[in-house]
Amino acid sequence: MTDPDHDLEQALRALRPRPPGPAVAARIDAELAVPAARRGVVIAWSAGFAAAAAALAAFVFLAEPVEPAAPAYQLVRADRSRPEVQLFRPVELADGSYARPVRVRWEDTTRWEDARTQTHLIDYRPNDRLTLLPLETH
């Protein structure tokens, strides 16, 4: 015996919602293409916390990019994007202290070129690091 609700749910799933218009995709494309420098990274919790987040971002940004070996190609360029910092609500740790999770994301792009065949090898690596910044409570 068939479940009438199941049949009705299957019929609902057969309906095809109208897709967004092409203008929506174009507007999303424009927004996602905005350079990282213009993204609204808000670091305004406190002077001490902002300094800690900046130090973490600087550590990531200034560290040497990893350059994978590629013997058939000649390295022509290695880039690291500006890191994007995301702050979360403070969490309580197992020992009763508090910490604020901070996520830093950046991308490494390394490009090699073979002059003879005019071919390129591009290594793109998104990176994601989550760190806990200890908070002092009074």
Residue pair 97/134 in contact by the 8 Å Cβ criterion: yes
Q: What's the min distance (Å) between Cβ of 15 and other proteins?
A: 5
72 binds other proteins (CB under 8 A): no
37 binds other proteins (CB under 8 A): no
23 binds other proteins (CB under 8 A): yes
Q: Greatest CA separation found in the chain? A: 69
Q: What's the min distance (Å) between Cβ of 83 and other proteins?
A: 14
Q: What's the min distance (Å) between Cβ of 59 and other proteins?
A: 20
Written as six digits, the tokens of 97 are 């202290």
HEC string of 26-38 equals HHHHHHHCCCHHH
Q: What's the min distance (Å) between Cβ of 124 and other proteins?
A: 8
What span, in angstroms and rounded, lies between the C-alpha atoms of 137 and 98? 8
127 binds other proteins (CB under 8 A): no
Written as six digits, the tokens of 92 are 């309580």
Residue pair 102/130 in contact by the 8 Å Cβ criterion: yes
Residues in touch with other proteins (CB under 8 A): 4-5, 8-9, 11-21, 23-25, 27-29, 31-32, 39, 86, 103, 105, 126, 128
